[in-house]
Structure 1
């Protein structure tokens, strides 16, 4: 199991990035969440098998057809003792990241 958090920049809000990310993650068996950030970026947390998480990181570099991804920051994180189950679309945080 691995856990990675990504920050995706570019034209990534209003292009079905979050919903498409959720569907892709479920198809790959990846748990976690995705959300819009107030600055226009999208943040996602992927947890699962190494190959499946890497597939989601690769997907994040292009996103859905209408997205224009300019940059992706990838942060490796320790696997949580209680892994998330499923994949959620979370609300935008009100006070930054």
Structure 2
């Protein structure tokens, strides 16, 4: 179910660029945002496939995405400037009514 939450977010009517801009609430263009965060030169689709094309649990996916040794809560707080608990932040990001757990 956890993997499905990630997949479900991208199976919507928004085009890829809009989804990424929305996620990162950033005025930079999509490619700059991706390059800044992922430090790679892959195109948008490849980055997303690499991030989300797995069925690993939520914690591991978040660690993989941010290539960070910090615990999940710290990573999320650092990126989203948020002190809310992990599940609530994830629900907010994915604007999804599916059960995170």
TM-score by length of 1: 0.29
Q: Per residue, is there more strand in 1 or in 2? A: 1
Q: Per residue, is there more helix in 1 or in 2? A: 2
Q: Give the number of the structure whose alpha-carbon radius of gyration is greater.
A: 2
TM-score by length of 2: 0.28
